[in-house]
Structure 1
Amino acid sequence: MLDGASENATRPSAGSAGYAAAFGSVMALGLPLNAVSLWILLTRKSLKSRSVVFMVNLAVSDLMLVVALSPRVYFYAAGAWPLGDTACIWFMMLFRNNIRSSSIFITFISADRLMAVVYPLRSRHLRTASNAWKAVALVWVFVLAVNIPESVELSRFLQNSSESSCFEYLKDPPSLMRYVQPVLVLAMLAVNVASTALVSRALRTRPDDSARVKNKVNVMLIFAMNLAMFVVFFVPVSTFVFFQSEGASRTPLICLASVNCCVDPLLYYFSFDGFWKRKEDVDNSGTRES
């Protein structure tokens, strides 16, 4: 069982100072970037926009990740975990929730762009702010629902392990729950790949669709950024952590995955031609956002 006061507590690896600096740097950059982005989205953009709804929730998810990084900085800097099993599990769930919710919200943004460009008329009744809020509500319910059995299993595992320490435990408990994240991330990646291909094809082969989109470079840049987020940040940590058992080897990938919260603000910037401009009425056709 975890006990920071115990002399037998497992201490972090030799590179703990480097991990503390890395996680601390992500916090120092991610907190102001996402706080400012969230403020701009809430005060200067319309919540009647589907993309803004998804981006607001993505920014909230990233801010939750920044909060989850603070105890990691302390753990790797001090070499001890004083808060016990429950707090350890809470902060671990916040990190995993960021990858899960972020992957879904990014996919929602890609799917919204796809429908706006390729199926503008047929998707009009689906692409509404109310449907966007319903979708994000379902995402948070799903994320929390997964946390319950996962937290119970992880708690039992940590209590029965004599060689575990928060954030450096040797392996995940054997369970079907360990496959939720890799399956989810790979499924969302497939949707993003398909969306990117369909939009790229539409812009090249359908002049009418291409003419409707004001900034085609930005549109494709958004899709490219979404794919890069999955390939660089989400897929490596999800597949390795949940299919490999060694705890020490996963820390660099977890550190890399945390950087996603610093990249998301670029997505907001390129999604709007005038990100810093004041709130404007949003065209229901979605072409303005695309």
Structure 2
Amino acid sequence: MIKHRQVQRRGRRSQMTTSFTDPVVSMDLLRAVLQPSINEEIRGVFNKYMKFFQKAAINVRDNVGEEVDPEQLIQETCRSCLEQAKLLFSDGKKVIPRLPHEQAVPKRARQMDEELNRRGSPVPKKRKGRPPGQSLANDRGVSGMAAWKLKVSEPVRRDGPKWDPSRLTETTTFVLGSRANKALGMGGTRGRLYIKHPHLFKYAADPQDKHWLAEQQHMRATGGKMAYLLIEEDIRDLAASDDYRDSVDLKLEELKPFIPPVWMTEKMQKYMETLRNGGDPVPLPPEGPPEP
């Protein structure tokens, strides 16, 4: 127990008085002493769940493309877990907002909880007589991870005017996915745009498309590296939404829009039609430009 007292320290140039009469100061001193041990125990908890985060991050990369950085996704997920863990010590006044997908899938989260238990997961089984608050906190923690994994496999709605192939015309402007990512302030995480907004139409450029893009200096020759094209109008609509318009990281000058040749636009129309009708989201076979 740290006693409340006055401690005076005399220096060469001045006299400094540190007060320990404030309970908050006393408790913070104790926290500072214990913090290294607390950090180590927290790290141990995350290490138990790391294999689930790693599998989910690789799953995201396989579904979205090589532009996704699994390590960055894992780091962001761990930080999100720590933010949500603050709910355990909420005073009832300050409310930590939960992510939309965490509110939408409590039933599926419980199903994943049961599945993990069957597989010998470190997620503890619910015991009778456990305080309600503790049970709720664990459910929230599992729901975050469950929703994050489920978000990848849930079908994306592809309907409405934005998924009408007729909107792609000879004058429609497109942007590279990497530039859109940077323009919306997501430059630090490759592929984050596609994960956060899976409803966006994105077209994976084939080798012939990438050859034209490189010739026109819209991108560097990347060999087998994935390159996505997005509709400029869709990105500007996102930038004008509540989520982005007040962001200090918004840099629309990074978009560098361009108009592709007709033969490429026609391929994108067919691809959009395929996806809209429920087809598999796979790149179309390479089609070169028409013979002159």
TM-score of the aligned structures, taking structure 2 as reference length: 0.23
Higher RCO structure, 1 or 2 (CA under 8 Å, sep 6+)? 1
Q: Which has the higher helix share?
A: 1
More strand by share: 2
TM-score, scaled to structure 1? 0.24
Larger Rg: 2
